[in-house]
């Protein structure tokens, strides 16, 4: 069962690692903070906790005209934390971004910071 779940998570991450279209409007990192309708916190992977892995996972995220995440591309981050960050961000929902009064697909960078409690 666990193997099946891990396989499903891997397939989802591959599907979400879509190529970000080059003609998509880029929105500065942090400028969508007030536009988040639903935000899911990442679950710190147990293996990463045991190994004391901390760091920032940086993602380029494609947000569709309906405000849902349509894809993402890993920019950088500690390997044991990447899947947890992608799983969480894939569930985020934004208010649709308007350009000239019309909903538009955008790309923005999202950083997910993983720190262990001291």
Q: Which pLDDT belongs to residue 113?
A: 97
Tell me what pLDDT residue 99 has: 86
Per-domain residue ranges for the chain? Answer: 2-114
Strands annotated E in 15-96 = 25-26, 36-38, 55-63, 69-76, 93-94
User: So what's the pLDDT on residue 33?
Assistant: 80
DSSP E strand stretches across 1-118: 25-26, 36-38, 55-63, 69-76, 93-94, 97-99, 102-104, 106-114
Q: Smallest Cα–Cα separation from 109: which of 13, 14, 27, 21?
A: 27
Q: pLDDT under 50 in the chain at which residues?
A: 1-16
Structural class in CATH, domain 2-114:
alpha beta
| pTM, to two decimals | 0.80
């Amino acid at each position: 069962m666990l193997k099946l779940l891990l396989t499903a998570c891997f397939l989802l991450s591959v599907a979400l690692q879509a190529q970000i279209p080059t003609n998509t409007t880029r929105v500065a990192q942090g400028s969508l903070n007030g536009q988040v309708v639903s935000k899911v916190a990442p679950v710190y992977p147990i293996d990463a906790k045991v190994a004391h892995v901390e760091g920032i996972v940086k993602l380029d995220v494609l947000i569709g005209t309906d405000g849902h995440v349509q894809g993402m591309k890993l920019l950088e981050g500690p390997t044991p934390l990447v899947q947890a960050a992608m799983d969480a961000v894939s569930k985020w929902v934004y208010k649709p971004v308007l350009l000239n009064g019309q909903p538009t697909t955008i790309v923005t960078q999202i950083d997910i910071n993983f720190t262990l409690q001291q």
